């Protein structure tokens, strides 16, 4: 079965729906019309560019090219996480923490999947490596962004409670334990909900794409199960790592809460 090609006219019809939504937003005063249109245009340009890059990448299957593409994806994801936070760590610290947590989780899980689960040869085959890493980075990015934003905001809002606990003799882990656990739950709830609803409420994207491409439904289901389990693991470990690193930055060696390292994001 061949995939039915979409024309520019087909895509323009879908774009009209987004423009109608933007007009509705303007009409009822939501104030989202500008962001909606810009995000849609950005998405279109980014995906078209990625499509052209991947076409070249798939033809060459070069480890250096795959590594470079993966690094670019990671760096951009780290920036997006930092940009989504209302209160973020000053300087490059927040960016480094976000990027490091996603690298540790997403890259490790992707490598394990390519070597021991998918078993593709060579393991860096771009048709497998790039989509797997992209799905893991995208979901880990959302989880880390939600958890990190919740942590810095709650630490600022509940600074009085945390400082009182510190004065009563608790260490930083005890004083901030409830907040950190709530933040971890916030980052992991989206993927938990996605797993719970998969196949009943919705057909996940990768499975749908494989079926449209002519794959057997059972083969598509197996790949989707693998992907969602990997995403859950990657997101969970990424969230835990990010929360731990940010928390350590918010407390000094004398067990004091330090909030002057935070700044309000202007890009949010």
Instruction: Examine the domain organization and report whether 97 and 21 are in the same domain.
Output: no
Per-residue pLDDT, 266? 60
Asked, for residue 2, whether it belongs to a domain, the answer is no
Q: Could you say which of 20, 41, 60 is where a domain stops? A: 60
Phi-psi region of 214 (alpha: psi -120 to 50; beta: other; left: phi over 0): left
Instruction: Examine the domain organization and report whether 69 and 50 are in the same domain.
Output: no
Instruction: Examine the domain organization and report whether 68 and 183 are in the same domain.
Output: yes
User: 177-215 burial, b for 16+ CB within 10 Å, e for fewer?
Assistant: eebbeebbebbbeebeebeeebeeeeebebbeebbeeeb
Please say whether the dihedral angle defined by the alpha carbons of residues 101, 106, 111 and 117, taken in this order, is positive or negative.
positive
Asked, for residue 175, whether it belongs to a domain, the answer is yes
Q: pLDDT 10s digit of each residue in the chain, 268 long? A: 456 677 888 888 889 999 999 999 999 988 888 999 999 999 999 888 888 888 888 887 788 888 888 999 899 888 888 887 888 888 888 889 989 998 888 888 999 999 988 888 888 888 888 888 988 998 899 999 999 999 999 999 999 999 999 998 899 999 999 999 999 999 999 889 888 887 776 666 667 677 766 677 788 888 888 888 999 999 999 999 999 999 999 998 888 888 888 777 665 4
What domain range is 97 assigned to? Answer: 63-264
- Specify the residue for token string 């390292």: 261
pTM assigned to the model? 0.81
Instruction: Examine the domain organization and report whether 45 and 81 are in the same domain.
Output: no
Domain count, the chain: 2
């Amino acid at each position: 079965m061949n995939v039915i090609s979409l024309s520019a006219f087909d895509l323009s019809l879908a774009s009209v729906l987004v423009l109608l939504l933007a007009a509705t937003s303007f009409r009822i005063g939501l104030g989202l019309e500008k962001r909606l249109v810009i995000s849609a245009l950005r998405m279109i340009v980014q995906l078209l560019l990625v499509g052209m890059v991947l076409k070249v990448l798939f033809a060459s299957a070069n480890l250096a090219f795959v590594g470079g593409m993966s690094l670019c994806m990671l760096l951009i994801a780290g920036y997006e996480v930092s940009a989504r936070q209302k209160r973020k760590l000053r300087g490059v610290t927040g960016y480094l923490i976000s990027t490091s947590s996603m690298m540790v989780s997403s890259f490790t899980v992707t490598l394990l999947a390519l070597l021991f689960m998918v078993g593709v040869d060579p393991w860096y085959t771009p048709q497998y490596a790039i989509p797997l890493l992209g799905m893991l980075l995208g979901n880990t990015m959302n989880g880390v962004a939600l958890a990190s934003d919740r942590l810095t905001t709650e630490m600022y809002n509940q600074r009085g409670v945390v400082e009182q606990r510190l004065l009563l003799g608790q260490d930083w882990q005890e004083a901030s334990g409830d907040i950190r656990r709530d933040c971890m739950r916030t980052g992991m709830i989206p993927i938990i909900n996605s797993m719970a609803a998969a196949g009943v409420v919705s057909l996940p994207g990768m499975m749908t794409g494989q079926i449209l491409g002519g794959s057997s439904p059972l083969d598509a289901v197996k790949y989707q199960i693998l992907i969602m389990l990997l995403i859950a693991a990657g997101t969970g470990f990424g969230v835990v790592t990010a929360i731990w690193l940010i928390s350590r930055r918010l407390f000094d060696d004398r067990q004091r809460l330090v909030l002057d390292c935070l700044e309000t994001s202007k890009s949010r």
